[in-house]
Structure 1
């Protein structure tokens, strides 16, 4: 029978201590809802005694009516030489409305003497009094032994006394923290095994990633007997971050056979991780295991040839199990297998003879100029369709012009004029924007809207510029990557030029061309309806 693991997410508290991570109350509520849908058992909302934002979160999170997760409030043991019943921090936890109290105390004798400057005996009383008070207040109590592994290596007898005091006071679980992130997996396994001989309630692990071992140390602790796992999504956290739940969950469930979430919930892991990165406004590393864009991406021709026969040759799990998907990258390193696989994925019947070789040669020439199709699937699809003669152009570009004016009374004014042709109609349109790219985008949309009303649903979501030859200074060639979306899909296009506006225009036009694949202009549709007698005069 498989063992069940309790998942404790601290993205909303420990994760926000990471550099560059800042979450509003609305952000935290959105993430909490998404974590609950994934099946996370505990969500730590913050430290209610530290700031007004966390207090508001605890007040509003109750409105979400979460189905799976319990909300935990974080705090510390009482202050030295005081009463738990009068400790402001502990009272804030009780008043927060949280179901669970997650409190930390000192396990390392060095910290007791140096950080809080009290006696070892008083520290034990602080642990015991705090846990007992919170239990009397009706809360589930998780006691976090801060710096436990360092404390155990320094003074194992005292470190064990601290968690024994928490157990005796009624704690529901003891969580062992590798707060400095400096322990190794064999040390973690050995220490957790030793703790298990003395602690008879749930044992948890809270690892940091300062040696890039947060996930490995968590797995080692579980194999030694821990059944409660703490971490953050995408590994957010102070310094080098916390143990990454995006990797821990599939490693425990798929690799080691533990039960964390349902199979259906596991299939939402990748969307959840990416959703959290978007809310946090943090770029997710493309190579992040399991959930990254490149986690199941294949570029080398030999690799692609093999996965076409059997994906197991170069994939350690089925990507869909964690909500990800296999990707075949097409580049100057690609062989014919890459292109055939990509065409098949896009529903394009690319024969294996001259057409495939011609397209590969074209891609190599373009990439030599600076184009990159690995992250621009829409531009690649347009290229393939052009090669096969299966694309009917929705519009063609005649010319464009940019005017930039610096006015003392109105500030910067940018105007774009575009000349395009839809069927036999020549359209000249102007549009303003807060910069050249925005003005071009507005002018192009304005020209196309009467013929393609669906263009209103297309939005630009990201715009990246990369200088390809820095030594060229202001004349350097640049690559522009544009990401767009509509109500149903998302896609990326690329443009390259020594003129950043032209590179942007090329990527922008490809984005609109891709959005209009298969669509007919209204004038054509009206003419066809009239021919069939479907138009009332």
Structure 2
């Protein structure tokens, strides 16, 4: 049986050092519970002595019961001027009342002399007596050998002496850190082998861990390599790879590789189908967009666009997928684009419950119209709701809920020190009734959206629960300057799902209107389908 690897998550500490990555105390508690449900072994909550948020988090977590994971507090070796029992940093670590304490110390001689301004011998002393002081006071004691790989390459003998000092102090596990993220995978194995030889020579059997940063984009590879060469018990990383500078080792890539590629035993194996939802939760709470191209958990990780690819995947997914997406909670997606063939369209028709046969002439019409529209700048990968409406119209299945006659949008900058006033006026027909409405808004698109809803909500009350959640504009070609064609993508959602729609025009308001109208038509169409399904159930 493969050896067990501990997974140590530091999203709540190292991850929060990423630019624009911020979490409240309540956010950190929610993420900690999600990591526990995922099966993470150790959750590093922060540095208790560094900021009030970490202190408050540890206080809150004392009343939270974790099912599997153990909470870790992180801190440094004692200050050279303080004895361990008088060091405020160590006192803060113990006050956090966590079962795990992780201490980091200097491995690189340059950091000792030029950052701490102490002698190399003094550094060995503070490593040893810091850990010796904490050892009887905590359940688990880990030592992060900061800058170990750089230190080893610069001064092998001294870097190894720092590990010896940590072992003498009582460290349970030695974590080798690539703090600057400059080590490459081919260097990992030989260095770990030399560390193991050194520890064996001391008569010590202390397990190793690895903590990699991603400045050379090798953090995941370095972590996996460390496990492959053996005797590495613990991998430290963050969800989605968040961390200072270029980030940390990405656990959402490391975990599936351990489970499905290396056959490594770990608690997360039992709950790995939660990986995708955990990844998205972290992004959502940090208020950051999800990286659609991220391996395993990205929206595009199992998205197929080319017609030949789609045809093969439908016959056997292994032809273009290295694992089955549902294993980690993701889904397979067949994209609609100008590269699409018959297989893509037929797959979408089946997904949307539309009866479309391979020999139906309407299929060629849909493909031709798709290619013509995308040649004009339309894009449907992120606007599948617009494409579903296109298919339904081509097949004569789309109901006309309303008919637009005209709209007008006016911006009035009446004072230079005040924002402009924006008003939209629309005229449309619903069932033969003319409706003429106007609305104010924060900008032309908001005003237009408000006017459309004002006109339609009386007839279609379900539109009140529809929310416009995102709005993107892309200039398709800069060669015509301000006359360039633009593409507008609108993301909408309700209590059931989210959907994307698209519009294209040389006029940004016209393109926005197209996308907004599609979004509303899609909502009304889905509402009709839900009502029909409910009647069938009755």
Question: What do residues 362-417 of structure 1 show as CA deviations (whole Å, max 9, x unaligned)?
Answer: 01111111100011111111111111111223323222222323345974322222
Correspondence for 1:371: 378
Give the deviation of 1:469 after TM superposition: 1.3
Give the deviation of 1:202 after TM superposition: 3.1
Correspondence for 2:62: 62
Question: What do residues 238-270 of structure 1 show as CA deviations (whole Å, max 9, x unaligned)?
Answer: 222111111000000111111234556211211
Give the deviation of 1:292 after TM superposition: 1.0
User: In 1, Cα distance between the equivalents of 2:443 and 2:65?
Assistant: 44
User: In 2, Cα distance between the equivalents of 1:204 and 1:519?
Assistant: 53
Give the deviation of 1:81 after TM superposition: 4.1
- Is the contact made by 1:11 and 1:231 (CA closer than 8 Å) also made in structure 2? yes
Give the deviation of 1:500 after TM superposition: 0.8
Deviating more after overlay: 227-236 vs 398-407: 398-407
Question: What do residues 494-526 of structure 1 show as CA deviations (whole Å, max 9, x unaligned)?
Answer: 1111111111111111111111115459xx99x
User: In 1, Cα distance between the equivalents of 2:267 and 2:435?
Assistant: 56
- Is the contact made by 1:300 and 1:335 (CA closer than 8 Å) also made in structure 2? yes
Correspondence for 2:85: 85
Correspondence for 1:471: 479
Matched, 1:212 2:217: yes
SS in 1 for 2:171: coil
User: In 2, Cα distance between the equivalents of 1:379 and 1:243?
Assistant: 38
SS in 1 for 2:102: strand
Correspondence for 2:412: 405
Give the deviation of 1:446 after TM superposition: 2.1
SS in 2 for 1:464: strand
User: In 1, Cα distance between the equivalents of 2:404 and 2:321?
Assistant: 43
User: In 2, Cα distance between the equivalents of 1:217 and 1:42?
Assistant: 20
With the length of structure 1 as denominator, give the TM-score of the two structures: 0.93
With the length of structure 2 as denominator, give the TM-score of the two structures: 0.92
User: In 2, Cα distance between the equivalents of 1:518 and 1:395?
Assistant: 16
SS in 2 for 1:321: helix
Correspondence for 1:533: none
User: In 2, Cα distance between the equivalents of 1:154 and 1:437?
Assistant: 59
- Is the contact made by 2:259 and 2:269 (CA closer than 8 Å) also made in structure 1? no
Matched, 1:296 2:302: yes
Per the alignment, do residues 184 and 519 of structure 1 end up closer, same or farther by CA in structure 2, a change over 3 Å counting?
Answer: closer
Number of residue-to-residue matches in the alignment = 524
SS in 2 for 1:72: strand
Question: What do residues 300-359 of structure 1 show as CA deviations (whole Å, max 9, x unaligned)?
Answer: 111111111111111110011111111111111122222112222222222223211111
Correspondence for 2:468: 460
User: In 2, Cα distance between the equivalents of 1:32 and 1:431?
Assistant: 45
User: In 2, Cα distance between the equivalents of 1:380 and 1:398?
Assistant: 23
Structure 1 runs of 4+ off > 6 angstroms? none
Within 5 Å, give how 1:84-483 maps onto structure 2. 84-197=84-197, 198=199, 199-223=204-228, 224-263=230-269, 265-353=271-359, 354-408=361-415, 411-483=419-491
Question: What do residues 262-316 of structure 1 show as CA deviations (whole Å, max 9, x unaligned)?
Answer: 5562112112212212222333332211011111111111111111111111111
Matched, 1:20 2:28: no
User: In 2, Cα distance between the equivalents of 1:258 and 1:456?
Assistant: 50
- Is the contact made by 1:452 and 1:520 (CA closer than 8 Å) also made in structure 2? no
SS in 1 for 2:85: helix
User: In 2, Cα distance between the equivalents of 1:185 and 1:7?
Assistant: 20
- Is the contact made by 1:263 and 1:321 (CA closer than 8 Å) also made in structure 2? no
User: In 2, Cα distance between the equivalents of 1:520 and 1:292?
Assistant: 31
User: In 2, Cα distance between the equivalents of 1:67 and 1:396?
Assistant: 57
User: In 2, Cα distance between the equivalents of 1:202 and 1:393?
Assistant: 68
Give the deviation of 1:460 after TM superposition: 1.3
User: In 2, Cα distance between the equivalents of 1:240 and 1:185?
Assistant: 17
Question: Which runs of 5 or more residues in structure 1 are unaligned?
Answer: 530-537
User: In 2, Cα distance between the equivalents of 1:49 and 1:518?
Assistant: 53
Deviating more after overlay: 40-49 vs 22-31: 22-31
Question: Which runs of 5 or more residues in structure 2 are unaligned?
Answer: none
Within 5 Å, give how 1:29-40 maps onto structure 2. 29-40=29-40
SS in 2 for 1:517: helix
SS in 2 for 1:65: coil
Correspondence for 1:532: none
Deviating more after overlay: 508-517 vs 146-155: 146-155
User: In 2, Cα distance between the equivalents of 1:518 and 1:210?
Assistant: 46
Per the alignment, do residues 334 and 419 of structure 1 end up closer, same or farther by CA in structure 2, a change over 3 Å counting?
Answer: same
User: In 2, Cα distance between the equivalents of 1:329 and 1:420?
Assistant: 33
Deviating more after overlay: 409-418 vs 476-485: 409-418
User: In 1, Cα distance between the equivalents of 2:526 and 2:296?
Assistant: 34
Question: What do residues 125-174 of structure 1 show as CA deviations (whole Å, max 9, x unaligned)?
Answer: 11111112222333522110011112222333322221222222222221
SS in 2 for 1:347: coil
- Is the contact made by 2:475 and 2:484 (CA closer than 8 Å) also made in structure 1? yes
